[in-house]
Amino acid sequence: MNRGRAASEAGDIMLVRGSPGRGRARVTHAVVVIFLEFFAWGLLTTPMLTVLHETFPQHTFLMNGLVQGVKGFLSFLSAPLIGALSDIWGRKSFLLMTVFFTCAPIPFMRISPWWYFALISVSGIFAVTFSVIFAYVADITEEHERSMAYGLVSATFAASLVTSPAIGAYLSAKYSDSLVVLVATVIAVADIGFVFFVVPESLPDKMRLTSWGFPISWEQADPFASLRRVGKDSTVLLICVTVFLSYLPEAGQYSSFFLYLRQVIEFSPAAIAAFIAMVGILSIVAQTLFLSVLMRTIGNKNTVLLGLGFQLFQLAWYGFGSEPWMMWAAGTVAAMSSITFPAVSALVSHSASPDQQGVVQGMITGIRGLCNGLGPALYGFIFFLFNVELNDMEPVGGKPTDAEKSIVPGPPFLFGACAVVLALVVAVFIPEHHRLADVKTCSAHKAGSSASSSTHAQNGSPLATPTSDAEDIEPLLQDSRM
């Protein structure tokens, strides 16, 4: 009897990790997908600035904010639907879809810049790769393994940005932007091919539907309905507010920081590439070494508070700093602040059952997608109000700018620091150990009464995350424009 039960449980675990016949799903598959996607976009850092300036010679930064705003809002609308569908139909098909549409605009940078920016905007519908990747990793790891797995994926993202901007800048200066776009396109195609031919399905067969019906309601696809359901659980609400207040300034920072370093602080392209590499390397160390130590010693919630403290210090330094060495010093603090989101996400992932990982991750990704839309536009507007002009692509020499004369050279960063203060206040009230309420809708529960969903529930119960002190983390989600 016991032997048969043990064999059954072992079979369940084998299904979670992938059947030998179709290939074993591994964390390395997720790592390769993330690395290739963000390495391709990292190569385009320098050409992106040039194309922006050539396409929108007036109000370059504000137009960038508009494009990214549309993309972010579409991501916000689509993330809950894609996350929920991946819980039912499997991860691979949606991973292939998100990678394809996220990388689709790359070749159009040289073919037609207008089509390039149009496709970037529309690609927001599917630009939720991290949402599916997070759920993929949750499928194939036990709770005690998840901390290391998420840390590895998080470090991989940082690693993809260590060298790619510098390589892109070198190829652009030595040859042309067209070569950079070609190389990025080849890498993007390789990533799509890797997902299609190599990456196995992570969701067990018996946890997926056998037919392509539409087993979820439109209410589940409504991101605003999802946010209303979030409000019914005070812990999830506090976490989502913390994510919004802390990621809003970070999203704005990513959209403007390279231009800010080049125009106001007078960094050269080589210095910008070196800065990105330094922050990337330190982020790898922070997310693989320091994060695991902090999670074990001071706990999940205190790690969140510490990360928010680093982010507050970093943004304040960016806001008041006017010398290059100040930016380099603040960059080291920025790397340490990268521990915030893995720890924040653990508060959700730790309590969500296996069949809800996609829904939960989609919710968080949707909020951050909304920030990716609001952040750039908000930063651009604040720069405009304080007369910090970011249209000129060449460093300003000789006469100091108004920003350099002012006490606060970077007003948007100071605004971001104020938002993080509010995030700190909210995070203090987040309980560290709490079982999340079911985030699915009534229609999902009705679907659960069907034969296939009943099998799912019966077989999924041994895989439910136990309420233990073990904590798991998920990678830092960054803007795919990087």
Residues 39 and 112 in one domain: yes
Domain-located, residue 113? yes
The two three-digit tokens of residue 266, written as one number = 């007078």
426 and 323 assigned to the same domain: yes
Predicted confidence at residue 215, as pLDDT, reads 61
In a domain, 264, yes or no: yes
Q: Are 344 and 473 in contact (CB under 8 A)?
A: no
- Alpha-carbon distance of 343 to 211, in angstroms, equals 37
Give residue 433's pLDDT.
Answer: 63
pLDDT reported for residue 315: 93
In a domain? residue 335: yes
In a domain, 449, yes or no: no
List, run by run, the mean pLDDT of 10-residue segments along the chain (482 residues). 43 39 76 93 83 76 74 78 80 91 91 88 81 84 74 79 83 89 96 94 65 57 64 75 90 79 78 84 84 83 90 92 88 87 72 61 69 81 70 45 57 91 91 58 38 36 32 34 36
We report the CATH number of the domain holding residue 268 as 1.20.1250.20
470 by Cβ neighbours in 10 Å (0-12 / 13-18 / 19+) ranks as middle
Give the residue from 273, 280, 331, 285 showing the smallest Cα distance to 160. 280
Q: Look at residue 188 in the predicted model and tell me its pLDDT.
A: 96
pLDDT at position 34: 92
Rounded Cα distance between 10 and 20, Å, is 14
Residue with tokens 């210095």: 271
305 and 423 in a single domain? The answer is: yes
Q: pTM for the full model?
A: 0.68
Q: Is residue 475 part of a domain?
A: no
Q: Which of 457, 206, 474 is nearest to 348 (CA)?
A: 474
Q: Given phi > 0 = left and psi -120 to 50 = alpha, else beta, which region is 387?
A: left
111 and 154 part of one domain: yes
Residues 265 and 191 in one domain: no
Q: What is the pLDDT of residue 174?
A: 87
Contact 37, 103 (CB under 8 A): yes
Contact 145, 466 (CB under 8 A): no
| 35 and 140 together in one domain | yes
Per the structure, the count of domains in the chain is 2
Domain-located, residue 115:
yes
Token pair listed for 313? 């210090």
Q: Apex CA 324: angle with CA 323 and CA 328, to 5°?
A: 125
Q: What is the pLDDT of residue 182?
A: 95
CA dist., res. 450 & res. 189, Å (int): 39
193 and 232 share one domain: no
Phi and psi at 124, nearest 5°, equal -60, -25
| Residue 464 located in a structural domain | no
Determine the pLDDT at residue 401. Answer: 46
Phi and psi of 96, rounded to 5°?
Answer: -60, -40
Clarify whether residues 68 and 153 are in a common domain: yes
Q: The dihedral of CA 438, 441, 443, 447: what is its sign?
A: negative
- Is 444 within the bounds of a domain? no
Q: What is the pLDDT of residue 476?
A: 33
pLDDT at residue 166 in the model: 82
Say whether both 178 and 257 belong to one domain.
Answer: no
Residue 60 lies in domain: 23-202
Report DSSP letters for 114-158, one per residue.
HHHHHHHHHGGGT--HHHHHHHHHHHHS-HHHHHHHHHHHHHHHH
The residue among 162, 186, 202 that closes a domain is 202
Which pairs count as long-range contacts for 325-328, CB under 8 Å and 24+ apart, including other chains?
327/261, 327/265, 327/267, 327/275, 328/275, 328/278
Residues 33 and 127 in one domain: yes
**Euclidean distance between CA atoms 346 and 344, whole angstroms:** 5
- Looking at the fold, whether 259 and 378 belong to one and the same domain comes out as yes
Q: Is 256 found in the same domain as 165?
A: no
Q: What is the spatial distance between Cα 397 and Cα 403, in angstroms, rounded to a whole number? A: 13
**3-state helix, strand and coil shares in percent for the chain, rounded to the nearest 5:** 75, 0, 25
